[in-house]
Amino acid sequence: MKRIVPFPLLAVALFGMWVLLTGFSPGHVLLGTVIAVLLSRVMLPLAPEQPRIRFGTAMLKLPVTVFADIVRSNIAVARIILFRPPERKSGFVRLPIELDSPYALAMLAIIITATPGTLWLQHDAHNKIILIHVLDLVDEAEWIDLIKNRYEKLLMEIFE
Amino acid sequence: MIQAPDLPLWATLIVGVFVLLGALITLIGTIGLIRLGSFYERVHPPTLGPTLGTLCILVASITCFSVLQSRPVVHEILIAIFVTLTTPVTLMLLARAALYRDRRAGTGDVPKD
């Protein structure tokens, strides 16, 4: 099985994309399967490090948390833009991170940047510190606590 | 050709509300681009569009075409996934370029490398 489909998750994702784009019919399911198996092999020469993904409740909890946070920060940022609170100040936050897996770090970068109000700037792999920019910086410790407890824990459960 | 008048009233209301909401959120984001001060602050507001703005428009699109074709049309989910995956790349690239320039020039209040 591993020989035929070296990247099963990628193959499943490609198959899902094909079926969603073309509509569900026997012909397209067959074609989608062929394409998913063949195309996912393109990754072989790149030889990416195999991610260790653990399936569990964290996988459902993460998207729900992220979605809720995105909606919440959208409202918060919209309020800042419209009402311009005078006491607001933005700033950089350095926060220590324990994640090692490049996949987990990439996920965290996407989550932080996709959430309005926070932006991922830099990851120092040597000192394990990431630099983010926060639009509404009230308490630095609060942000560090939020990211470590809310996202890092879940990502650790999934990837490490 | 799909005709919008075939849409029942309840669906029209949902579609209308979500399209307007999505457009409004995106507009607020673009206003923020003008209103805020520094470069790093200005990177934040445009994310309103690709997140909640896009989401509202997609919900409207899913509702509209699912009702018109009497079957679930959900390929809009792909748009949400790809937009979410790709916008952070651009934003990070811009912000990192600005950070690099500020560090080199020694201007602005940016943290050291």
For chain A, give the mean pLDDT.
87
CA distance A51 to A101: 8
Statement to judge: residues A40 and A86 lie in one domain: no
All residues of chain B having their beta carbon less than 8 Å from the beta carbon of residue A77 are 29, 32, 44-45, 47-48
Does residue A93 lie within any of the structural domains?
yes
Of B44, B78, B92, the CB nearest to A117: B44
pTM of the entire structure? 0.85
> What value does the mean pLDDT take over residues A51-62?
85
What ipTM did this prediction achieve?
0.82
pLDDT at B108: 66
CA distance A34 to B34: 49
Statement to judge: residues A40 and A118 lie in one domain: no
pLDDT digits (tens, 9 = 90+) for B5-45: 778 888 889 999 999 999 999 999 999 988 888 888 888 89
What is the extent of the structural domain holding A115? 57-159
Does residue A24 lie within any of the structural domains?
yes
CB atoms within 10 A of CB A3: 5
pLDDT digits (tens, 9 = 90+) for A67-114: 999 999 999 999 999 988 888 888 888 888 888 888 889 999 999 998
Statement to judge: residues A66 and A20 lie in one domain: no
Q: Quick one: what percent of chain A has pLDDT higher than 70?
A: 99
Whether residue A36 has pLDDT greater than 70: yes
The answer, for A94 touching chain B at a CB cutoff of 8 Å, is: yes
| Domain spans, chain B | 9-105
Statement to judge: residues A87 and A122 lie in one domain: yes
Statement to judge: residues A39 and A71 lie in one domain: no
Does residue A134 lie within any of the structural domains?
yes
Statement to judge: residues A120 and A85 lie in one domain: yes
At residue A94, what are phi and psi to the nearest 5 degrees? -100, 125
Q: Do A114 and B88 touch (CB under 8 A)?
A: yes
Does residue A30 lie within any of the structural domains?
yes
Statement to judge: residues A39 and A92 lie in one domain: no
For chain B, give the mean pLDDT.
87
Statement to judge: residues A65 and A40 lie in one domain: no
Does residue A3 lie within any of the structural domains?
no
Higher pLDDT, A4 or A129: A129
Its sign, for the CA torsion B19, B20, B21, B24, is positive
Domain count of chain A? 2
